[in-house]
Amino acid sequence: MFTTNDASLNKDQLKVGLGQLAPVWLDREATTDKVVAMINQAGAEKVDLVAFGEALIPGYPFWVSMTDGARFNAQDQKELHSHYTDQAVQIEAGHLDKVCAAAKANNCAVYVGIIERALNRGGHSLYCTMVYIDKQGEIGSVHRKLMPTYEERLTWAPGDGHGLRVHQLGAFNTGGLNCWENWMPLSRAALYGMGEDLHVAIWPGCHRNTHDLTKFIAKEGRSFSMAVSGLMRKSDFPDNTPHLAAILDGAGEEQMLANGGSCLAGPDGEWLIEPQCDIEGLFTAVIDHGRVREERQNFDVAGHYSRPDVTKLTVDRRRQALIKIID
């Protein structure tokens, strides 16, 4: 476990935690319990913010690429989607209440990746969603991934801009994006323009995704850049998973399907926590806002180095829905 001494934190400092976990795959309750246990661990270590990987509750849709998921109207894909929907998170039903309670009890803010079963979109389409919960246990933002990547589009719906927000946490403004959204320059620019100086990127778990981009975002934004990933091993597929034999056969001989790679870079692009692979754990570090101010002296992407008279970004944060009811 990587950790740092936090005995003398000042007003500019924040202790952050990278919660690298494997889900109990497609089991919402059991995976939620793992997340809560790590929030409790973070609280015991006086962590101010802990983040978890993309789609962690209840898990990433690995079956799509392993079972020829593009076959239209295929019965196995329908059954897997039904199971996924049943285990997805419906915030309005209280499925995140345990996580919110743990955040409040431990005085620890949380970013967590979920599969959201959104009531305002009918309750049966699924969204890859990043939820921010503050230290009081209140949900501050629910960001639905703007564009699912490649085969993800066979099971996730595209989101909207409602959750493109930053949240003040001590001296920092924190914001975040899901997986390949972090490659989208205008999505990053939206958060920079809102004052982000601690960026949280969440991933299903792959070192090749986090190793280069984490440092790049740190240098581009002159911000602290966290990448937090999940893990997935063959042993994490429960025995009661629908069509498990076909999924495991499609996985081949590889035992580690998602190897983590959680890491943290400073605003100069140097590692504070190098990518952590193949292990579950809580990896922590103390970050100092003074370093942001130092690096912004020569480059501030949304401040003195921007030219809004020449180029300007418009962000629509309205929550999109099929109907607008007027009673």
- CA–CA separation, 321 and 68 (whole Å): 31
Interval 50-65: pLDDT, tens: 999 999 999 999 999 9
> Which residue has 């409602």 as its token pair?
162
- Under the banding of pLDDT at 50, 70 and 90, the label for residue 49 is very high
**Which carries the bigger pLDDT value, residue 228 or residue 236?**
228
Question: What does the pLDDT average to over 147-153?
Answer: 96
- What phi, psi does 235 have (nearest 5°)? -70, -10
Q: In the predicted model, is pLDDT for residue 4 greater than 70?
A: no
**pLDDT value of residue 256:** 85
Distance of CA 11 to the CA centre of its chain: 26
> Which residue has 């494997």 as its token pair?
22
**pLDDT value of residue 8:** 62
**pLDDT value of residue 23:** 97
- What phi, psi does 73 have (nearest 5°)? 65, 25
Q: Answer for the pair 236, 246: CB distance below 8 angstroms, yes or no.
A: no
Say how many domains are in the chain.
1
**pLDDT value of residue 136:** 98
- What phi, psi does 185 have (nearest 5°)? -60, -35
Interval 175-193: pLDDT, tens: 999 999 999 999 999 999 9
Across the chain, what does the average pLDDT equal?
95
**pLDDT value of residue 254:** 76
Q: Which amino acid is located at 195 in the chain? A: G
- Identify whether 304 is part of a domain: no
**Which carries the bigger pLDDT value, residue 84 or residue 325?**
84
Give the number of C-alpha atoms closer than 13 A to the C-alpha of residue 191, restricted to the C-beta side: 32
Contacts of 79 (CB under 8 A, 6+ apart): 242, 243
Give me the catalytic one of 15, 54, 206, 263.
54
Give me the catalytic one of 15, 34, 145, 215.
145
Contacts of 181 (CB under 8 A, 6+ apart): 145, 146, 147, 187
Q: Is residue 129 classed as helix, strand or coil in its secondary structure?
A: strand
Q: In the predicted model, is pLDDT for residue 2 greater than 80?
A: no
**pLDDT value of residue 36:** 98
Give me the catalytic one of 179, 206, 263, 277.
179
Give the CA dihedral 6, 100, 188, 148, nearest 10 degrees: 130
Question: What does the pLDDT average to over 235-244?
Answer: 91
Q: In the predicted model, is pLDDT for residue 215 greater than 90?
A: yes
Domain assignment of residue 129, given as a range:
13-295
The answer to whether 215 is a known catalytic residue is no
Sign of CA dihedral 236, 241, 247, 248: positive
Interval 258-304: pLDDT, tens: 999 999 999 999 999 999 999 999 999 999 999 999 999 999 999 99
Q: What is the CA radius of gyration of the chain?
A: 19
- Identify whether 126 is part of a domain: yes
Report the relative pairing of strands 198-203 and 172-178 from DSSP bridges. Answer: parallel
- Under the banding of pLDDT at 50, 70 and 90, the label for residue 251 is confident
- Identify whether 289 is part of a domain: yes
CATH number, domain at 75?
3.60.110.10
Contacts of 7 (CB under 8 A, 6+ apart): none
Q: In the predicted model, is pLDDT for residue 9 greater than 60?
A: yes
- Identify whether 115 is part of a domain: yes
**pLDDT value of residue 324:** 87
- Identify whether 172 is part of a domain: yes
- Identify whether 307 is part of a domain: no
The answer to whether 145 is a known catalytic residue is yes
- What phi, psi does 260 have (nearest 5°)? 85, -125
**pLDDT value of residue 5:** 46
- CA–CA separation, 66 and 202 (whole Å): 23
Q: In the predicted model, is pLDDT for residue 1 greater than 50?
A: no
- CA–CA separation, 324 and 327 (whole Å): 10
Contacts of 205 (CB under 8 A, 6+ apart): 20, 53, 60, 229, 230, 231, 232, 258, 259, 260, 261
Q: In the predicted model, is pLDDT for residue 121 greater than 70?
A: yes
- Identify whether 95 is part of a domain: yes
Q: In the predicted model, is pLDDT for residue 83 greater than 90?
A: yes
Percent of the chain with pLDDT over 90: 91
- Identify whether 327 is part of a domain: no
Least confident of 170-174, 180-184, 211-215, 237-241: 237-241
Give the number of C-alpha atoms closer than 13 A to the C-alpha of residue 33, restricted to the C-beta side: 5
Q: In the predicted model, is pLDDT for residue 225 greater than 90?
A: yes
**Which carries the bigger pLDDT value, residue 253 or residue 246?**
246
CB atoms within 10 A of CB 278: 13
Q: Which residues pair with 51 in a beta bridge?
A: 18, 111
